[in-house]
Amino acid sequence: MRGPHNIWRLVYTGATLERTGAMGAVLEAFDAPPGVRALARVLGWPFKWLGAKGDPNSPPIPRALTALGPAYIKFGQILSTRPDVVGVEVAQQLTVLQDRLPPFPRERAMRMIDAELDAPFDAVFSEFSEPVAAASIAQVHRARLADSGREVAVKVLRPDIMRAFRKDIDAFYLAAWMVETFSPSSRRLRPQDVIRHFEGVVMGELDLRLEAASASEFAANTASDAGFRVPQVHWGTTGRNMMTLDWAEGLAANDLAGIDAARHDRAALGERVLSLFLRHALRDGYFHADMHQGNLKIAENGDIIALDFGIMGQIDEYTRRVYAEILFGFIRRDYRRVAEVHFEAGYVPADRDIDEFARALRAVGEPIFGMDATRISMARLLAYLFDVTERFGMRTRTELILLQRTMVVVEGVSRSLYPQINIWEVARPVVEGYIKENIGPKALARDMRKTAMVLARFGPRLPQLAETALIRQADEPGYRAERRSTLRERAALVALGGGLVALGAMLAGALG
């Protein structure tokens, strides 16, 4: 489907970018070469009158993407997590992209639910409201379960949304191919890989069972976090095209007047939003990656309630330890240690000068520490840090870029609630607590226990593995007596493995 018939969609896209004034900003953000600029103008300027006007009160790029429809809105949201591709300025513009579209009729949603659950609608829900929110992929209804009387939120996918997205994604692939063809220098940005990433994210969001699984996992991870809640998933009324969660009653996080009227402590809320995010990222390695005001509510008792789990971030345990050490090094202003961590992790090529790198890191950190509390920004620090590491040859790490983008959003929420927040004072106990538990003797013992448990599972097979290795070695062509030393070394390694199993059993008993 990625053929010439998609050219009309690209012409319409170019015309809309021209008409809304977004074309120049997009070309500038990508530092487009003359050939691409000329191609874009050919696709846009002569047909400008065919393009959509959009909302003149919106900035040009969000205005154009909103006018172009659901796939473009979602594409813009995902690109906001990739400042390495679109640049920091455009990424920040895209974070305020409003994902709001006119709702589809309530009756259509009810028919879709009938088909999804293969049960009479009235047997499932005793109440079902008009849409209370409508976005590019789905809309939400307030409802009540017939069997329990429990109030719930029902998220329903837009009709034919899969077909609509497929059509636009095909056009995106054609556009990426044209950019790579006419501008070889743009291949460093890997346009087609960006579209593949977008396609993977969207296809996941178009199966609401996956979002429900994310909500369930997030709820399990955060169950013991005081002052934080995730609505419970109702799996019996959740499927590919619909998802049911407990209804979350509360004030929107940007309703500052309402929060003040309810006598909530805004300073405490601002600090809690930030510390919770850091705890989820470091402790769990699984965090809400779209934590803006629209996805947060303040309950009557002051709890923070998270909503919308379509975009989640994940960081493996090793990367979390590296990230924590980097943050802790900056908090302590130990730039040499921050540099060493980068080299130890292999983030910076070993042939670079570690002292020069440490000085570059000092140039990043010291100006920030010289600011007053209201201007200190961890998000700014991470942005500067990525600039420096890129100059020293560090490859882009997508999971850290998503973390940095979310940090920008979370800091914005925290500062809107409490403008005087000191980011470092809030972050320090979270980072120190993580390091105490995960870097040091206690963490080493825990790691050895895990390693020993893995080895122990192979314990019964060690004799067979040793015999197979020895026989294979002996049967190799050109086998000579002088190579028996290699066999002895391998046998010694097998014996060492057995010793580790025994050590693991002792550790498991001591630490269990």
Q: pLDDT tens digit string along 21-44?
A: 777 777 776 666 676 677 676 666
Residue tagged 């990625």 (tokens) = 2
For the residues 340-363, what does the mean pLDDT come to?
89
Q: Is 22 exposed, middle or buried (0-12, 13-18, 19+ CB in 10 A)?
A: buried
pLDDT band with cut points at 50, 70 and 90 for residue 5: low
| 99: annotated active-site residue | no
What's the pLDDT score for residue 248?
94
For the residues 135-149, what does the mean pLDDT come to?
92
Distance CA 12, CA 69 (A): 12
pLDDT band with cut points at 50, 70 and 90 for residue 96: low
Give the 3-state secondary structure percentages of the chain, helix then strand then coil, rounded to 5.
Answer: 65, 10, 25
Distance CA 81, CA 62 (A): 15
Check: CB of residue 341 under 8 Å from CB of residue 326.
Answer: yes
Q: What are phi and psi of 145, to 5 degrees?
A: -70, 135
What's the pLDDT score for residue 148?
92
* Residue 242, pLDDT above cutoff 90: yes
Distance CA 189, CA 248 (A): 41
Distance CA 512, CA 509 (A): 5
Distance CA 426, CA 407 (A): 13
According to DSSP, the β-strands at 304-306 and 296-298 are antiparallel
Which of 142-151's residues contact partners 24+ apart within 8 Å by CB, and which partners?
Answer: 142/247, 143/244, 145/234, 145/237, 145/244, 146/122, 150/234, 150/246, 151/246, 151/247
* Residue 406, pLDDT above cutoff 80: yes
For the residues 270-286, what does the mean pLDDT come to?
94
Distance CA 203, CA 207 (A): 7
* Residue 122, pLDDT above cutoff 80: yes
Of 125-139, 157-171, 287-301, 376-390, the least confident: 376-390
- Which one of the listed residues 168, 170, 225, 290 is annotated catalytic? 290
Check: CB of residue 148 under 8 Å from CB of residue 124.
Answer: no
User: Residue 253 carries which side chain, given as an amino acid letter?
Assistant: A
Distance CA 155, CA 369 (A): 44
429 Cβ contact list (under 8 Å, min separation 6): 275
Does 498 or 326 have the greater pLDDT score? Answer: 326
For the residues 244-261, what does the mean pLDDT come to?
94
What's the pLDDT score for residue 458?
65
* Residue 375, pLDDT above cutoff 90: no
What's the pLDDT score for residue 29?
65
Most confident stretch, 32-41, 168-177, 343-352: 343-352
What's the pLDDT score for residue 358?
92
Distance CA 321, CA 339 (A): 15
Does 426 or 511 have the greater pLDDT score? Answer: 426
What's the pLDDT score for residue 1?
47
| DSSP H stretches of helix in 372-422 | 378-391, 398-417
* Residue 391, pLDDT above cutoff 70: yes
pLDDT band with cut points at 50, 70 and 90 for residue 336: very high
Tokens of 261: 């009227």
What percentage of residues in the chain have a pLDDT greater than 90?
Answer: 30
Distance CA 270, CA 277 (A): 11
For the residues 167-196, what does the mean pLDDT come to?
74
Count of beta carbons in the 10 Å neighbourhood of residue 468:
11
- 488 DSSP 8-state letter: H
Distance CA 400, CA 313 (A): 9
What's the pLDDT score for residue 137?
87
pTM assigned to the model: 0.75
What's the pLDDT score for residue 405?
74
CATH architecture of 105-157+207-247: 2-Layer Sandwich (3.30)
* Residue 81, pLDDT above cutoff 60: yes
